[in-house]
A = this chain, B = another copy of it.
Amino acid sequence: METLVVVSHPEIEKSDTQQFLKASAASLSQVVWHHLDSRLPFDVTAEQQAITSADRLIFQFPLYWYMAPASLHQWLTDVWLKQFVYDARGGLLHGKSLGFVVTFSQSATAYQLGGSVGFSISQFLTPYAALAAKTGLTLLPPLTIAQFANQTDLEHQQLLVRYQQYLTLDHPDRPDEQAQWFIDRLSGNADTQLLADQLAAQTDDIDRLRLTLHELKAGESE
């Protein structure tokens, strides 16, 4: 799967969060880092080619007044032309997925009813839900990063894993795909092969238990 990470950030060199994410994605061979602000004015043909080549698009940005910075809006205006993204028969980006990596400086709990912001990230992203519906894109749940600067080293390591999974897994939220992701990385190294084997065995166990549970429930309803 090819992933295009579309980054909107006017001061990316000053952003520790973006530099961390860029380094986290650097080892992934099928991930293209695409910083919008440094590509202005846009070469529409090149931008459309980058979208066409990708199976997954990620819109990655800090929240500025609860929205993306200007460059993402400029890109959508210039590049996402009607004839490129939809026609009378449907969305021309059908088969691709759209995810979001959204960073902000308040706590995650601010973004809910009664929180200091009072609205959810999903509410703020509503226009993109309409855009996805129009163009045939499948939405992924957003990956949100709150207060990166305040996170511990362990939290940063966990974020690196979550981010790499978000860019590469078919279903980044599914535990079985997450487990397989670890197994792939732990295998083939003498130190970690045992750990990988154990993780694989436990994943199989979980699958068997789920199946048993499913059969028991099916029996109940007969």
Interface residues of A (CB under 8 A from B): 10, 64-71, 73-74, 76-77, 80, 117-119, 123-124, 126-127, 129-131, 133-134
Contact = CB atoms under 8 A, between A and B. Distances in A.
B133 A118 contact: yes
Contacts of A65: 73, 76-77, 80, 127, 130-131
Which secondary structure dominates chain A's binding surface?
A: helix
Contacts of A134: 117
A129 B133 contact: no
Contacts of A64: 73, 76-77
Nearest to A135: B65
Nearest to A126: B123
Instruction: Pick from A10, A76, A127, A133 the residue with the most CB of B within 10 Å.
Output: A127
Given A73-B73, A76-B65, A124 B117 contact: no
A80 B65 CA distance: 9
Contacts of A73: 64-65, 67-70, 73
A64 to B, nearest CB: 5
